[in-house]
Each structure stands twice: as structure tokens, then as C-alpha cells.
Structure 1
Amino acid sequence: MEEHAAPPTVYQVHGSTAPGGEARIRAATQTIPVDGSWASAPTGAPGPADLLAAAFAACLLKNVERSGKLLPFRYQRAEVDVRASRQDSPPRFTAFTYELRLVTDEPQRRIDLLHQNLRRHGTVYNTLAAVSEVDGTIVSVPPPVE
């Protein structure tokens, strides 16, 4: 019997800009202001590198939620800090590092399993890991005692 792979999921965004670098990206139902300026003072809006790091952070957080449902894995809160390192010549990202903090009472072996699932099932994670170094840690914080 011949296996058929599911067709790929397609995501579509729309971007626009005007002279001066005021740009916008429409993704899903949201419009995101983007700093599209060149050789001028930062506008305060995220630039392309910030958006890439944000996509990676969102991937990690979404997969914490996914794993919470599938494993199941108990947590009260998750936070992540991502650092993207780039070089100028040739222009590319060289590394992504992260620290994911979880408020959980899960034992360390379950936290390690969660981390393994984040690395294995994260689409953005795996895409970035194919072209740059990706490394991170999970820090668990016990829930407050009531």
C-alpha cells in the first residue's frame, strides 16, 4: 500500500512599506508595525531580526502548551527569553539561545521529556536548527505554596 504524505500547511502574510521605512505586516488577523527603515534611528517597532526571534519564542511557548495537553504536563506559567546572534559577512544568524522558565511541580525527568519534545516537534525550532546553532535551557520554578 502506498503512503501519501499530508499536503504542507501554508501560511501567508502580507507586507507593505512606504518611503522612510514605516512598514506593516499583516499576519492572521493582526497587523504588526515593523521597522523597515535603513541607516536611520530605530523607530521602536520590531525589525526583521526581532520578528524572527519572536517567531522562535512563540514556537517554544506554543509547544509547551501542546506538550501540556499531549503528555500531559502541568505548569502554571511559562516565560522564555531568546537571544539571536548574527554576523555581518556573510549576513546570517549564527546562533539562537533561549532560557525557558516554567512554574511547575513536575519532576526533572518530565521537564527533560518536555525539553526533548520542544526540540523534536518545533517547526520553527527545527528550521532554525538546520541552519544555525540552537541551544537552550529550561529552568523550573516551584509553584507558590498556598
Structure 2
Amino acid sequence: MEYSVKASSSSKKSASIQIKQSKINFGITPEFADTIPNPAKLFLGSFSSCILKNVERFSGFMNFEYSKAEILVKAIRLEKPPRIDKINYELKIYSTDTNLNVELLKKNIEKFGTIFNTVQLSCSIDGDVKLIYE
């Protein structure tokens, strides 16, 4: 399987990524720091998306129902060399399903997530999955 995206930027302005029918703007200058995401936030967004996609995927495999899932991701950035050193996530699954095996879900997310596994090779990841009964 191969992936591709197209991105472009304008000097001293902003940039965007074209992915299928979606366009995602991102900042490349300090003027946009408070209004649109920077590359590091897009990176964390990709990480978050991977986990949420796998919640949906494993709801079918593990036979559980959920109404929604929310994830909060935080990262620690080192200065020299500049890189993400540690990621922490908290995933909340809202469900009435009392048979949902949260530990197995977490294990599957961390074992089969493409972005998760790629990121895990370069920084530490610590996460928590919580079931919120509705």
C-alpha cells in the first residue's frame, strides 16, 4: 500500500495539504500561530486520527457498540535536536456496552495502528483508555 499527498506554500503566508477532496491549511509563519495548526499539531492530529480510526475498526472485530470516542494528545518537544520526545494520550470511549474489553482494545490500537507504530519507533508513547458509561 502506498500513500501520497500534495502540499504547497506561499512565501511569508500559509500552506496547505491537499488530500483527496480535503484541503488542510497550516501555518508556516508566526502570524498564523494562533489561528491555524502548525506541522507539529498536524502530526499529533494524524496520530489521533489513527487511534480513532482503529476504535471504529475494532468495534466491529471486538463486537462492541459506542456512541463516540474522544482523544486528547499531548507531546513533549525537545529543542536540540528539535523533535517530539514523548507523547501521552487519553482516549475516552462512550458506550453502554458493559462487555467492552478496554485493555484488549488498547492492545489492538497499539499493535495495529500504522501511524502509532511508525511514531513509536522514534519516541515514547504512554496512553490510557477509559470507558465512560452512558
Contact kept in structure 2, 1:35 and 1:43, CA below 8 Å? no
> 1:41, 1:24 → 2: CA distance?
13
> 1:138, 1:25 → 2: CA distance?
31
Cα deviation, residue 130, structure 1: 0.9
Contact kept in structure 1, 2:64 and 2:100, CA below 8 Å? no
Structure 2 unaligned residues grouped into runs of 5+: none
Q: 1:133 aligns with which of 124, 127, 134?
A: 124
Cα deviation, residue 42, structure 1: 1.7
Distance 1:41 1:56, change over 3 A: closer
| CA distances 1:50-81 after superposition (whole Å, capped 9, x unpaired) | 00000000000000000001111221110000
Moved more, 13-22 or 98-107: 98-107
Q: 1:26 aligns with which of 18, 30, 46?
A: 18
**Number of aligned positions between the proteins:** 134
SS of structure 2 residue aligned to 1:72: coil
1:59 is aligned to 50
Distance 1:109 1:138, change over 3 A: same
2:9 is aligned to 17
Identity, % of aligned positions:
30
SS of structure 2 residue aligned to 1:81: strand
Q: 1:84 aligns with which of 68, 71, 75?
A: 75
2:96 is aligned to 105
| CA distances 1:80-118 after superposition (whole Å, capped 9, x unpaired) | 001121111011110111000111234477111111100
TM-score by length of 2: 0.92
Distance 1:43 1:25, change over 3 A: farther
Q: Name segments (4+ residues, structure 1) moved above 3 Å.
A: 105-109
> 2:34, 2:6 → 1: CA distance?
20
> 2:97, 2:103 → 1: CA distance?
10
